[in-house]
Structure 1
Amino acid sequence: MKKYPHVMMSSMIAILFIGCYPAAQKRIVEQPEIESVFYLPAEIISVDKDLVTIRVEKPVLFKGDVKLALQLAQGIIQNSYLLEGKETHLNQTRVKVMRVMGDDIQLKVLGKPVPYKPGEVVKISLEKKTIAIRDFEVIIGKNKEVAKYVQEDVTTALVNSGQFNVVERLKLKSVLDELTLSELGLTDSKSAKQIGKLLGADIILTGTLAATGEEWNVNLRLINTETGLITTAFNKRGSLHELKEASFRETRNIDGRFEDNASGLAGWIIGTQFDDKAGKGGYQKVYIDETQGANGTTKSLAMDFRLGSGKSRKLRKMRGGIRASIMNRLKRDLSHYSGIRFFIKANKDLTIRFLLADSQKNTVEEENWFHNILVTKDWQEVCIPFNSLSLQKVRGRRLRTNQILELNNIERIEWVVSERNVKRRTEGTIWLDEVTFY
């Protein structure tokens, strides 16, 4: 869990200007230690002309308390070290993998006489592979979110192993749509080869989960795109009792490109509001502007607003300030990220507030963490490291929270125009585009 303790704030207002900070070094999420492997020790079992059979020694990759998702990742890695049809090196000799039989691997020596003898200890190099991961699916059980949780953990472990590049989900979906294939099509030899060629992927991974009482049975298939065949199918059975439905949060990156409305609106609050948080006579309207976007695109998320002349009765009761905001209310776990990057502009120079709201486990209160931004008439790229955010305090209200930014419990993200930064009755338009976490 990533936490940033609150530090004493300066009385000066921090303004974030045009351009990005250098990317902050990504902090490591707490998880069992993983062993990076770049070659495997092996013993020569037999030599027959240019065919060499070796027996490899597969290491235990994860150390510490290993949960089910990491057991799955270890199984994937260990069953895909060497793929039939691929080339690699045995010591300094170029070889091609002909057959994989558990820990025994048959290799064909390429281009030179065989210099090996039975009993000899050697090293076989591991080439980095590209894997396309189809969305895992719960086929038996009510809690469909478990599949997403397990897939995210497995994906993270595969990337951290140093053995894989992972194909983006949208790119895989685009190829499947182009070939008009369902998930069943992935098991077809010809289709698997096509997908591998179009994506540059060596392996396709599919997974299903089935609830059996308090445990889950997870079945995985690895498809070698070189041969089009299922190279490995295995399952793991284990308890996920620590997972509660209410605790599931989105861990994938935000889709903040608004060229494609269907994919870019998850969690974004669209529509018009009057005389509420915007105050008496105030309003805000959030919509997709189809006339302009950042970096030459044609669409962006826009907000027309007018701050009211005074607080409404409801606002006085809430003890809140007059404000208008672009908001994303999707509950998120951002502990895998170091900051947020986006493009923004306005119809006139404005100081607005970027805000991240987190929730606390032992209280119903939320904390608001902010950074002020000077927005101009031209598109500008803004990068905000999460560890640069300051805790927003409300005058006359005592915070009963731990005053620590809980990145794994984010309730909402906002870009706020408020009477903290501009005068009442201020009106204008703000445009936002290409939002992403880094």
Structure 2
Amino acid sequence: MKSFRIVFPLFLVFLLLACAATPDKSNNEPAKLFAAGGTVLECQGSQMLLAIDIPDFSKKSGSVVDDIANQVVRKSYILEGTPITIDGQKGNVTEVRGSQARITFDQLLPSCAPGRKVSVHVPKKTIAVVDFEVIGGNRKEKGRVVLEGLTSALIDTGQFIVVERTKLPALMNEIQLSLSGMTKREKDGLAGKLLSADLILTGTLTDLQEEWEINLRILNVRTGQALSAVAMKTRLFKQMELRDSGPWIEDFESADPDPAWVLRAETAPVKKNKKANFSVHFDSGQGAEDSSRSLRIDFDFSGDKDFFAFANNYKKRDLTLYNGIEFFVKGTGKFNGQFYILTSHPDDPNRIDQWTAMMVVDKTWKKIRIPFNKMFISRGWIKKGAQKTGAVPGDQVLRLNRVEGIQFGVGSNKNDAVSGSIWIDKIRLYGGSEMPG
């Protein structure tokens, strides 16, 4: 009876995850194969010792997560217990040592001379990425940032089917409750089997203040053995990779406002031979609702028909958890204002696209709510701005996980007024089950 209580809940987990988390194999199509070159080292009966030229899947992005993904691919390219095809002949990997593998075939090899070059094909693997543990410091959210970035990088290699991370917590909880006597390796191995995974990737990130110590373990589910670990000390992220995915609530009441705001004193015209100018500062005399402080933009177009006054916040963000942004706005008159989100291309952070939403500013405070899925790319940006930053027209995708900056502003081409001011206050992101009103 005791064994039934242990096995039955795991059987239910298996049924649920087999339907929801694993790839559909009902069509009985063979797994996609990936090719590599190899050199025969030794032959004996139905066995072959092979040196395999494992391809390099690294990108030239310089990203640490891309480098880790490449290491994971290379260290798991050949797995013990998995099928393999050598020059069209099917066999199984029985032993792996570095880039050398011993292959066993169902029949004797007709011709197997040492030094012979062969073509090696291996199947695409399924990998489950378990949450990373962050040790030390107070930057626990960075574990999630690494996890999401590495998951995307693994998918981009084309070598893996990645199990949905959202399916893993329920599975691990079930294992903890039902099989408390198992070791962590045994639990991870069982998790992989229930998910029909070939590999489990897990590990720790240790915050050393100036740098991070990364220790990742790759578990071969078929054998229950840990493959070569990925271990390094690094700054881990370039600044572009550290993105704030937390809530953003900005009411400008704090004595130490967000340093990502770009303030500008009105000192000289922005353009040569033009009088147009603007300034950005905090105003302690204006605030929406119960607030007493706001962000203020003063502008003077002075005959410039192509001038834009704006306030920038250049904090790098990941806004994928949110549906949109809301804020209060007020002006010295009625103006047509703009709200922009600047997003970058995953392969080049300098390739920027500018996503736009329009708003009407009045003399009284008004709440503006902008759903991200209603934002657009203007024709002018595609023709001019995109080309200046290297973005390719037609390749515009609203990558909310790669927000490089947010702008509020007003342009001379949308307004008749020569000068004026607008105020911004009570900025916040909304999302989850909350829908735009």
Gaps of 5+ in 2: 1-31, 250-287, 295-315, 328-336, 342-352, 369-376, 382-397, 407-427
Once the 2 structures are TM-superposed, how far is the Cα of residue 127 of structure 1 from its aligned partner?
Answer: 0.7
Q: Are the counterparts in 2 of residues 355 and 368 from structure 1 also a CA contact under 8 Å?
A: no
2:191 is matched with: 195
Cα distance in 2, alignment partners of residues 52 and 170 from structure 1: 41
- What is the Cα-based RMSD across aligned positions, in Å? 4.2
Secondary structure, aligned partner of 1:41: strand
1:71 is matched with: 67
2:436 is matched with: 416
Q: Tell me: CA distance 1:221–1:240, structure 2 relative to 1, closer, same or farther (3 Å).
A: closer
Once the 2 structures are TM-superposed, how far is the Cα of residue 101 of structure 1 from its aligned partner?
Answer: 0.3
Cα distance in 2, alignment partners of residues 40 and 160 from structure 1: 18
**What TM-score comes out, normalization by structure 1 length?**
0.52
Residue 359 of structure 2, aligned match among 377, 385, 393:
393
Cα distance in 1, alignment partners of residues 183 and 52 from structure 2: 29
Cα distance in 1, alignment partners of residues 148 and 242 from structure 2: 17
Q: Are the counterparts in 1 of residues 54 and 77 from structure 2 also a CA contact under 8 Å?
A: no
1:141 is matched with: 137
> Aligned AA for 2:185?
D
Bigger helix share: 2
> Aligned AA for 2:436?
V
**What TM-score comes out, normalization by structure 2 length?**
0.53
Q: Tell me: CA distance 1:145–1:193, structure 2 relative to 1, closer, same or farther (3 Å).
A: closer
2:339 is matched with: 367
Q: Are the counterparts in 2 of residues 214 and 240 from structure 1 also a CA contact under 8 Å?
A: no
1:129 is matched with: 125
Name whichever of 118-127 and 103-112 sits farther off.
103-112
Question: 4+ residue stretches of structure 1 with deviation over 6 A?
Answer: 181-184, 315-319, 402-406
Cα distance in 1, alignment partners of residues 103 and 145 from structure 2: 38
Q: Tell me: CA distance 1:115–1:141, structure 2 relative to 1, closer, same or farther (3 Å).
A: farther
Q: Aligned ranges for residues 142-291 of structure 1 at < 5 Å?
A: 142-180=138-176, 187-189=184-186, 191-240=187-236, 242-243=238-239, 247-249=243-245
Once the 2 structures are TM-superposed, how far is the Cα of residue 117 of structure 1 from its aligned partner?
Answer: 1.6
Q: Are the counterparts in 1 of residues 33 and 124 from structure 2 also a CA contact under 8 Å?
A: no
> Aligned AA for 2:91?
V
Cα distance in 1, alignment partners of residues 193 and 46 from structure 2: 29
Q: Are the counterparts in 1 of residues 83 and 92 from structure 2 also a CA contact under 8 Å?
A: yes
Cα distance in 1, alignment partners of residues 42 and 240 from structure 2: 52
> Aligned AA for 1:314?
E
Cα distance in 2, alignment partners of residues 128 and 61 from structure 1: 14
Cα distance in 1, alignment partners of residues 324 and 161 from structure 2: 33
**Aligned residues with identical type, % of pairs:** 29
Secondary structure, aligned partner of 2:123: coil
> Aligned AA for 1:188?
R
Residue 79 of structure 2, aligned match among 72, 77, 83:
83
- Which of 1 and 2 has higher RCO (CA within 8 Å, sep 6+)? 1
Gaps of 5+ in 1: 1-35, 251-266, 270-312, 320-330, 341-353, 359-364, 370-386, 418-438
Q: Are the counterparts in 1 of residues 154 and 160 from structure 2 also a CA contact under 8 Å?
A: yes
Secondary structure, aligned partner of 1:113: coil
Secondary structure, aligned partner of 1:46: strand
> Aligned AA for 1:367?
F
Q: Are the counterparts in 2 of residues 187 and 223 from structure 1 also a CA contact under 8 Å?
A: no
Residues 85-108 of structure 1: CA deviation (Å, up to 9, x unaligned)? 111211201111111100111111
